[in-house]
Amino acid sequence: MLKLICPQNCKRCFCEPICVLGAIIAQAGSIYVETDKCIGCGTCRRICITFSLDKALKDKTEDWLKGVA
């Protein structure tokens, strides 16, 4: 299942190449996580400036990334 993690498609998305499982997908002008592939390591949270600083995303945990929460 695709879950929206960022509503803006940066010209150079840092999350997409850093995800070792390829769970981050840039599509339709947004950045998504493929919850079936995500193991919840949180690397995307740490590398992405928007994801790290956006107040609306602050409470999103690794479980949320995996689609558990």
Q: Tens digits of per-residue pLDDT, 44-66?
A: 877 877 666 655 555 666 676 66
The number of domains in the chain is: 1
**pLDDT: which is higher, 19 or 8:** 19
For residue 1, pLDDT over 80 is answered with: yes
Q: Tens digits of per-residue pLDDT, 12-29?
A: 788 889 999 999 888 887
**pLDDT: which is higher, 6 or 34:** 34
Picking from 19, 27, 28, the residue whose alpha carbon sits closest to that of residue 66 is 19
Query: What does the alpha-carbon distance between residue 62 and residue 29 come to, in Å, rounded to a whole number?
Result: 23
Range of 23's domain? 2-66
Torsion angle of alpha carbons 7, 31, 44, 50, nearest 10°? -30
Torsion angle of alpha carbons 41, 43, 48, 53, nearest 10°? 60
> What's the CATH number where 53 sits?
3.30.70.20
For residue 7, pLDDT over 80 is answered with: no
Query: What does the alpha-carbon distance between residue 33 and residue 22 come to, in Å, rounded to a whole number?
Result: 9
